[in-house]
Amino acid sequence: MVNVQEIISIIIRVLETILAIIALGLAGGFTADISLGRVIFTIVTAAESLVYLGYVEFLVPVAFKGKNISTLVFCCEVLNTLLYLVSWAIIAGDFPSDCNNSSWGKSNCQIYQAILPFTLLNWLLFSISFGLFLGFSYIPEIQRFSGAHTLKPTKYYWGSIFIDLPSVARQCCGLLLYQANVDKNALGEDPHKSSTVSATSPRDQEANAGIIRDADDPPAETASSKDAVTAGTNTR
- What's the pLDDT at 167? 52
d(CA 35, CA 29): 10
Which residue ranges in the chain fall short of pLDDT 70? 1-2, 166-236
Residues 66, 156 contacting (CB under 8 angstroms)? yes
Of 189, 148, 155, the C-alpha closest to 169 is: 155
DSSP lists the bridge partners of residue 175 as 172
Task: Say if residues 184 and 191 touch (Cβ distance below 8 Å).
Answer: yes
171 SS3 class: strand
pTM for the model? 0.70
Residue 106 phi/psi, 5-degree rounding, is -65, -45
Rg (CA), the chain: 35
CB 88 within 8 A of CB 71: no
Domain ranges of the chain: 4-187
Residue 198's pLDDT is what? Answer: 40
